[in-house]
Amino acid sequence: MRVFKRRWRDKRDAVGVSAKYTVAFHDHNGCLRTVVCGTDKGAATDMGRSFERLASFRAARMRPDPDLQRWLEILPPKLLEQMKDWDLLSGDVAGAGKPLAGHLEDFKHALEATGGTTTHAQKTYARAKKLLDACGFRNLSDIEAARVQTELADMRRDRRDARGRVTPGISAQTSNYYLAAIKQFFHWLVCERRVTDSPLTHLQPLNARADRRRERRALTADECRHLLVTTEASVELRYGMRGPDRAALYQLALETGLRWSELRSLTRGSFELDGDRPAITVSAAYSKHRREDTLPLYAKTAHFMGDYLANCLPVAAAFPMPASDQGAKILQADLKAARIAWIKAARGDREEVKRRVKADFLKDRDAAGCVVDFHSLRHTFATRLMEAGVNPKVIQMLMRHSTITLTMDRYTHLSVLDQRGALETLPNLDSDDAEAMRATGTDGAADQLTVKLTVARSERGRHGPLLAATEGGNSEGCREHHVPETQSPSCISGALEDGGPTWIRTRDQGIMSPLL
């Protein structure tokens, strides 16, 4: 290896010296290579040594070590392309120097190839790309964790236009989605050995509960009944679905907790309605966790679905659902129709009509801001099971959640009334004696009992025990008070003017003890 400055002669035969140093080294094939470096000789020397180490790794057909890999990650893309032309870098190692846009495209193709849905791959790719573009990152060497945090904080900030209208920023949950997407991208880069480690590993998500923008609520049992009855009788055609079709869809969603995409994938062959254990099977291709799920069916629901699907072929779709995700719009339209019918049912009573107009019954958004969309039917399924006293572990299995925390914290919505009802199940802590006294009618006799309260001082003025006190009378220097036994010690102590200690003795026990 040699580090030098280039010299040349101009037309006037004057000698010129380059301001930058040039590194000359031999690659793994023995060919002489030269690279122009900066004006710092020490930095140019270190770069030359790195070139020699890289050539030795290439000659041994080994991947560069982590230190050398980090050095490659900060090199300019043009230099990496030149080294690739020299065959000094293999294809995968040289890929570390390609622009981030190229890595992102490879990342999206990898997500699609691993069995994920196209929608999930596209969303993850779009979020990572939007965040990288907002930060201004073009190459891997540009990545800075602090810049990512700053940009996410700016995306969460509200903005006001020239007219004073406020555009709210993204929520904490959406911010976590962006952070998860870009961290997943860098995790993939590490697994692909395009980078040695991720600079974003230490970034932590925010507490999404502190900034919930869209909180779902569960429907009550009465709301479910009104919705099903009104929708069943509806003659409106919504996105190609008749009223009975929508009612059957809602009932199955309320009693199985299936998602919109899972319900749309069902065919007549997905139902096992014969026998003592009716069930429904969701194909692994449409299940969220990519496993085939078999769920039990409520007996009445199985009978209802048998009548509904009686004339369907085994491969026919169970419901004529639209191709796009229009479940929220369909449900909210039916909720509105059911609410109007519920209010009109009280037409003869003006006060009842006013009360129903103000109530949150069948509203798609209640007074607390909680909304009802199609996924709320899944929340309703979990909440009704919890109210029925089903074991939380069983609810988790029926919901097909990975953790019971998700089931309990996100999908169950219990009201204050449910909490009060839980308190009523506590055991009676009254003692057997108290129960017997109530049964014989003598529980009020305790009010007539009295105790002797005696306060005294010793001859030396110090407080001492009343050893001479007897049940029949007072000892010398003692004062006796008769107070109802039901009074508290604080009340008894407050009634005494003397500053000495208070001693209590009951008539039936004859034992004296201090009141603290």
List the CATH number of the domain containing 132: 1.10.150.130
Is the domain of 241 the same as that of 383? yes
Q: Is residue 341 part of a domain?
A: yes
Amino acid 38 reads G
DSSP SS3 for 122: helix
Q: Is residue 49 part of a domain?
A: yes
Is the domain of 243 the same as that of 183? no
Is the domain of 159 the same as that of 255? no
Q: Which of 97, 124, 145 is the last residue of a domain?
A: 97
Is the domain of 206 the same as that of 253? no
Is the domain of 277 the same as that of 412? yes
Is the domain of 90 the same as that of 105? no
Q: Is residue 441 part of a domain?
A: no
- Characterize 266-305 residue by residue with b for buried, 16 or more Cβ atoms within 10 angstroms of its Cβ, and e for exposed: bbbebbebeeeebebbbeeebbeeeeebebebeeebbebb
User: What's the CA gap between 392 and 262, in Å, rounded?
Assistant: 23
> What pLDDT does 270 receive?
92
Axis-axis angle for helices 327-344, 221-232 (nearest 10): 100
Find where tokens 């965040």 sit: 131
User: What's the CA gap between 282 and 267, in Å, rounded?
Assistant: 10
CATH of the domain at 257: 1.10.443.10
Strand partners, 33: 25
Is the domain of 467 the same as that of 389? no
> What pLDDT does 455 receive?
41
CB 65 within 8 A of CB 58: no
What pTM was computed for the model? 0.61
Q: Is residue 88 part of a domain?
A: yes
Is the domain of 250 the same as that of 373? yes
Is the domain of 338 the same as that of 413? yes
CA atoms within 13 A on the CB side of 249: 30
Is the domain of 178 the same as that of 49? no
> What pLDDT does 290 receive?
76
> What pLDDT does 96 receive?
58
Contacts (Cβ under 8 Å, ≥6 apart) of 344: none
Q: Is residue 431 part of a domain?
A: no
> What sign has the CA pseudo-torsion 327, 329, 330, 336?
positive
Contacts (Cβ under 8 Å, ≥6 apart) of 411: 378, 379, 382, 383, 399, 401
What are the DSSP E strand ranges found in 273-387? 279-282, 293-296
Is the domain of 64 the same as that of 145? no
Q: Is residue 135 part of a domain?
A: yes
Instruction: Please list the ranges in the chain whose pLDDT falls under 70.
Output: 90-97, 115-116, 415-426, 428-516
DSSP SS3 for 342: helix
> What pLDDT does 184 receive?
94
Is the domain of 310 the same as that of 389? yes
> What pLDDT does 120 receive?
84
- Total domains, the chain: 4
User: What's the CA gap between 319 and 436, in Å, rounded?
Assistant: 64
Which structure tokens are listed for 226? 């009104």
* Beta strand 293-296 pairing with 279-282: antiparallel
Residue 349, Cα to own-chain centre: how many angstroms? 45
Q: Which of 418, 438, 471 is the last residue of a domain?
A: 418
DSSP SS3 for 165: coil
For residue 90, give the DSSP letter: -
Q: Is residue 65 part of a domain?
A: yes
Q: Which of 376, 398, 418 is the last residue of a domain?
A: 418
User: What's the CA gap between 503 and 516, in Å, rounded?
Assistant: 9
Q: Is residue 423 part of a domain?
A: no
- Domain of residue 254: give its range: 221-418
> What pLDDT does 78 receive?
80
